Structure 1
Amino acid sequence: MLSPAPMLASPLPLLLLLLCRTCLCQYSSDQCSWKGSGLTHEGHTRDVEQVYLRCSQGSLDWLYPTGAIIVNLRPNTVSPAAARLSVCIKPSAESSGTNVYLDRNGKLRLLLREQDQAQGKVQCFSIKEGALFIEAVPHTDISRRITSFQYELVSDRLGAGAQSLSAPCQPCSDAEMLLAVCTNDFVARGNIKKVEQEEDHSSVTVEISRLYRQKTQVFVSGGVRVRSWTGRIKMPLHCGVRSGGGDFLFTGTVRFGEAWMGCAPRYKDFLRLYHEAQQQGNNPCQLDTD
């Protein structure tokens, strides 16, 4: 998770928040993706525009930013489970022109500075931490400025922890393991071929002998005559994963087109657990283990 940051006392964001609380804001949207222009703020740059995005994933593009906008990210269904969701955002490499804060009841916490957005690093936070307050940074020339990012709503355990690269490397419980097979974005049996240490995560190259499910094509087929798939799965750097070691059951989530490791028991251990749960009638779903 993100490390705590001090509350900001900058007068401009607070002034903009107060103005938004007392004025009719320019525009509101209720959709998956939003694209707007700061040129609509010209002449009334103190107005704060409210944007409502109510999908599990989407994007935002704010051209020529001036003033500020508040982005409310919410699921499209009302459920007690919604309070346990996290939001992950990934700025584009060209994103600039604003600072991004978290706004919770008028208190601001800095999430992304303008100069940090071009790194494209994923940032996650609990949905309970508030809305995004995106404030334009004054520039003489705004013609080349655009704030652009993708967002996804994810579960706390497999979303925010993995993307912030600080998830604990602890084994899943039996219940979590069985549920992961039913709910995760990918489920596959295979082995680890290579592990590469990158700047802030490990990239694990895997060879898949049995592909049960994948949300998007993170594993690529070796061809019609070759019943195997290959792909890469990311995981936190400090987990110390190594190549070899026999067959595993890989499960996890796909975030912004990248596979992130969730539960990954040895296949023989999963098989024992699965058959025991099957005999007791406790399996949340069925998996063809033949």
Structure 2
Amino acid sequence: MEAFIYLGLPVLLIVFFPGTLSQKLCSQCDCTISDPDGGDRAILNVKPRCEEGRVTWLNAYGAVRMELAAPTAGDVRFCIRVQSDNVNTVVSQETVAKIPGNYRLKILDDVEVRLSPLFTTRGQGKEYCISGSDPVHLYLETERSDEDVGVARVKVHYNVETIASSLRYSPMEECRPCSDAELLKAYCSSDFVAIGTIDDINHNDDISHIQVSVTKMISQREAIFQKPAVGWTRPHELKGVVHAPVMCGIRHGEGEFLFTGRVRLGRPVLQCAPRYEQWKSVLEMALNNELMECSYG
């Protein structure tokens, strides 16, 4: 989705509540943070160093300031998906506005930090993206009521990608068949590559959940496709669920497909999925012309 900055909501001035503004945390791709004092008024300041990963906020009280930076110059898409357990999480974008001074009154120029509310979430949140070129500063604050029980935990899956880079378009935005070159690239570089069939497709809000039975596992970075529960009539078959936008109109099809995709914002997203017969044709052409960039298995 494109950036939905401000959402027509009022711009609010940040008023930092008393507490500890910690040193910058999270210098890895996946990080776990928590209030070191166990209080509920700390502000944790995090700056992940990777283009994608996850920040897990345990005992989520107070607030988190999160900075996402572009890997290279140019237009960039900053995307997050927030999972909020046993607590509401309010996500805002932090901006800085310059306030001109008054020479006659001897008032110097100043800056004002503002919060632009983006969304509030609880449970499994949706993907939210902002396009731009400068680093994005997000402010996450939790709201817990007396009815909330259990440990408050917030997971922030983030993804930062250059918009114009090849085969890095957002699969949750665009729906188009992959070219032969993109298909070959996807086969060699995707987070999961498998041959299989579609069992069923369920739609939930704007996401299609595609249930897949794998007949041949080529590769997978994470355990997306696994052995079914005990008692399944085909114990050697792997099963899993991959995701795609509802607007792509993916339908249940007979026969085998090549499923390729990437783990994006914590879930496997379908990228190229040609029929197996089409893939065999592309593969034969690539092998004959020595175009394969990886071994075929």
What is the TM-score of this pair, normalised by structure 1? 0.73
Tell me if structure 1 keeps the 8 A contact 2:12–2:114. Answer: no
In structure 1, what is the equivalent of residue 102 of structure 2? none
In structure 2, what is the equivalent of residue 198 of structure 1? 204
1:92 to 84, 87, 92: 84
Matching residue's letter, 1:214: Q
Aligned-partner Cα distance in 1 for 2:222–2:169: 20
Which structure carries more helix by proportion?
1
Matched, 1:269 2:278: yes
Q: How far has the Cα of 1:156 moved from its partner?
A: 6.0
Higher relative contact order (CA 8 A, sep 6+): 2
Q: How far has the Cα of 1:34 moved from its partner?
A: 3.9
Q: Structure 2 vs 1, CA of residues 64 and 91 (structure 1 numbering), >3 Å: closer, same or farther?
A: closer
Matching residue's letter, 1:50: N
Tell me if structure 2 keeps the 8 A contact 1:86–1:156. Answer: no
Aligned-partner Cα distance in 1 for 2:32–2:56: 5
Q: How far has the Cα of 1:183 moved from its partner?
A: 1.3
Q: Structure 2 vs 1, CA of residues 156 and 260 (structure 1 numbering), >3 Å: closer, same or farther?
A: farther
Matched, 1:72 2:79: no
Tell me if structure 2 keeps the 8 A contact 1:180–1:252. Answer: yes
Percent of aligned pairs sharing the same letter = 25
Q: Structure 2 vs 1, CA of residues 80 and 175 (structure 1 numbering), >3 Å: closer, same or farther?
A: farther
CA deviations over 1:141-192 (Å, ceiling 9, x no partner): 9998946123243656788834xx4x22211122211111111111011122
Structure 1 residues without counterparts, runs of 5 or longer: none
Tell me if structure 2 keeps the 8 A contact 1:252–1:262. Answer: yes
In structure 1, what is the equivalent of residue 31 of structure 2? 33
Q: Structure 2 vs 1, CA of residues 159 and 139 (structure 1 numbering), >3 Å: closer, same or farther?
A: farther
Out of 277-286 and 47-56, give the one that drifted further.
47-56
Aligned-partner Cα distance in 2 for 1:53–1:225: 42
In structure 1, what is the equivalent of residue 180 of structure 2? 174
Please give the secondary structure, in 2, of the residue aligned with 1:117.
Answer: strand
Q: Structure 2 vs 1, CA of residues 185 and 82 (structure 1 numbering), >3 Å: closer, same or farther?
A: farther
Aligned-partner Cα distance in 2 for 1:190–1:85: 32
Matching residue's letter, 1:101: S
Tell me if structure 2 keeps the 8 A contact 1:84–1:127. Answer: yes
CA RMSD of aligned residues (A): 3.9
Q: How far has the Cα of 1:264 moved from its partner?
A: 0.5
Please give the secondary structure, in 1, of the residue aligned with 2:282.
Answer: helix
Matched, 1:186 2:192: yes
Aligned 1:73-222 pairs, distance under 5 A? 73=68, 80=72, 84=76, 86-96=78-88, 98-105=89-96, 108-113=115-120, 116-126=121-131, 128=133, 130-135=136-141, 146=152, 148-153=154-159, 155=161, 161-162=170-171, 165=172, 167-221=173-227
Name the count of aligned residue pairs.
268
Matched, 1:50 2:57: no
Please give the secondary structure, in 2, of the residue aligned with 1:278.
Answer: helix
Out of 33-42 and 199-208, give the one that drifted further.
33-42
What is the TM-score of this pair, normalised by structure 2? 0.71
Matching residue's letter, 2:83: P
Please give the secondary structure, in 1, of the residue aligned with 2:286.
Answer: helix
